[in-house]
Amino acid sequence: MGRVQELIDMTELPMIGKLNKPLKEIVKIDNILTGGHRLCAGCGAGTMARQVTLAAKAMDQPFMITNATGCLEVATTIYPFTAWKVPFMHNAFENASATASGTIAAFEAMKRKGIYDGEQPKMIVFGGDGGTYDIGLQSLSGAVERGHDFVYVCYNNGAYMNTGIQRSGGTPMSAATTTSPAGTKIPGKIKWAKPLAEIMAAHDIPVFTASPFYYRDLMTKTQEALKYEGPAFILIDSPCNLGHKHAPGESLEITKLAVQTCFFPLYSTYLDNWKLTGESLKIAKGQSEKLPVTDYFKTQGRFKHLFEPQWADKLVEIQKTIDEKWERLKKKAGF
């Protein structure tokens, strides 16, 4: 009964509480990701990374970063420069979680041997959808199964943006990419995105979804994930104005619409204890309006073909599926 009771008690972990410090104090903290990096104007990855690392630094504990190859890594660590103010390791697309595992094990070994007597730094791993949904999934699943203490942050911009906007496992249904172009035969990508958050939740670890527009929700979830002694996973919507084809200044508003249309709902889950959070919770309670997915699609050129007469049925199909997915999520969360 002891172990069962322990698991029951731990299901309360993802209940989103408050930041450990007032936000007005946290925003005065020096940025871990400095200015002068080479991310595109309007890139969601830079905003997301600043929010995550500010929340982490506010916890007054050491941490370091491992980053899979991708936009965030390439644009912030162009040799011989770096935009990071904490220890930072770049590795290949496929092995960010394995690198984190080895680094954590190395610190543990150094402490046992008396080589290092400081506080063990918390490990934060950043990876895009290409390096997480696809190439790095086996590495991530293996590290989680082994129980290493790290927080994996996947910033999903919906394609292999760094290498030419190719389709990934995180690309939405019917989005146009260079390898799934919209035309007369197909309406962009013909498959739904991989349900990565649910896949990670099946590993029985804390899982969170977050949006840069709802920054307080994102930063609070980051701190909740860091409190957990073991692996935790955060999936963050990260717009790419180049690949999504929208103006740089519209990025955050588009992430807001993704939540308001339930295209990207906000929630936390651990051991099948699902909790809607923030704006998604308000929508479920009827306190906010659930918008049609077309409000989200019409802001981005990657979906513009869906508004042509020949693909009208596809829009109906997508809306129906999003509604069904939303209803299933609400049911899991007790609505």
Q: Give pLDDT tens digits for 256-313.
A: 999 999 999 999 999 999 999 999 999 999 999 999 999 999 999 999 999 999 999 9
Q: Where are the alpha helices (DSSP H) in 35-83?
A: 44-57, 71-76
Chain centroid to Cα 151, Å, comes to 11
Total Cβ atoms within 10 A of residue 187: 24
The structure tokens listed for 187 are 């309406």
Burial label, 70 (beta-carbon count in 10 A; 0-12, 13-18, 19+): buried
The answer to whether the beta carbons of residues 100 and 87 sit under 8 Å apart is: no
pLDDT for 17:
67
Please check whether the domain covering 9-332 is classified as CATH 3.20.20.140: no
The answer to whether the beta carbons of residues 40 and 241 sit under 8 Å apart is: yes
Residue 68 zone, left/alpha/beta (φ > 0; ψ -120 to 50; rest): beta
Residues of the chain whose pLDDT is less than 50? 1-15
pLDDT for 18:
87
Q: Could you tell me the pTM of the whole model?
A: 0.94
pLDDT for 16:
56
The structure tokens listed for 291 are 């918008």
